[in-house]
Structure 1
Amino acid sequence: MGKQGDSQTIGNRIKELRKEKGMSQMELAESSKLDVLTVIELESGKSEPTVGELIAIAKTLDMAMPELFRGVV
């Protein structure tokens, strides 16, 4: 699996967790101090998340980084 596939899988995981928390993309973006376009691009696999973005998302979703990657790698 190449980088695009990896990003898509991570994006799908972020989307799944966000929905489990009942959050919109806008709410995740605002709570994580990210741009909503960044969240949209991450979830769609159009961009790869930075470490900082992953940390912010994990914190917003109230989980440890390993939980964010469960089933991804």
Structure 2
Amino acid sequence: MPHDQPEWVRDQRRILGRRIRDLRMNRGHTQEVVVEMTNIDRRTYQRIEAGESDPRYGDLLQIAAALNVDLADLVR
């Protein structure tokens, strides 16, 4: 995780990761299922959910589609 960013940015990244995890679990998907649906590297996806990395825009689009939510709702 980049350490040169303000704490509030890191907090928001963790919130996003929790939101993604909660949506995935509410839909009954494992991480492996979402990884298969999105073609995102497994470790990258785990780091996104853990709030440890800045997800790329394209990855967020694919995750939103896999979880059947609008991107705006995912990153609200």
TM range (shorter): 0.7 to 0.9
- TM-score, normalization: structure 2? 0.84
Deviation per CA, 1:16-53, whole angstroms, max 9, x where unpaired? 00001101111111101101111110111110111111
**What does 1:1-73 align with in structure 2 at a 5 Å threshold?**
1-70=7-76
Aligned residue type for 1:36: R
Aligned residue type for 2:68: D
Any unmatched runs of 5+ in structure 1?
Answer: none
Following TM superposition, by how much is the alpha carbon of 1:2 offset from its aligned partner in structure 2, in angstroms? 2.1
Any unmatched runs of 5+ in structure 2?
Answer: 1-6
Task: Give the structure with higher Rg (CA).
Answer: 2
- TM-score, normalization: structure 1? 0.87
User: Which deviates further from its counterpart, 11-20 or 57-66?
Assistant: 57-66
After superposition, the CA RMSD in angstroms is 1.1
